[in-house]
């Protein structure tokens, strides 16, 4: 895997691990306080959740490889 591809994968996993709770907390508070009428806000929220989901998937793949090795 190229260095740029590994760096991109690391960035996605880092975002998912470190920012998932703030994304969801802020998102749920925002959803409970505001009514979504703006397409940009919906797309942004959807995009953040997709980034977190992809990061969790990548992290799971990495952890399952380590588990299979016996580490």
Q: What's the pLDDT score for residue 24?
A: 67
User: DSSP string spanning 1-38?
Assistant: --HHHHHHHHHHHHHHHHHHHHHHHHHHHHHHHS----
Does this model's pTM top 0.85? My answer is no
pLDDT digits (tens, 9 = 90+) for 28-49: 666 666 665 677 777 777 888 8
pLDDT digits (tens, 9 = 90+) for 2-20: 889 988 888 888 888 887 7
């Amino acid at each position: 895997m190229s260095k740029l591809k590994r760096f991109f994968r690391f960035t996605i996993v880092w975002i998912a691990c470190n920012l998932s709770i703030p994304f969801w907390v802020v998102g749920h508070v925002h959803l409970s306080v505001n009514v979504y009428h703006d397409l940009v806000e919906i797309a942004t929220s959807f995009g953040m959740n997709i980034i977190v989901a992809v990061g969790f998937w990548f992290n799971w793949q990495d952890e399952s490889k380590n588990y299979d090795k016996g580490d």
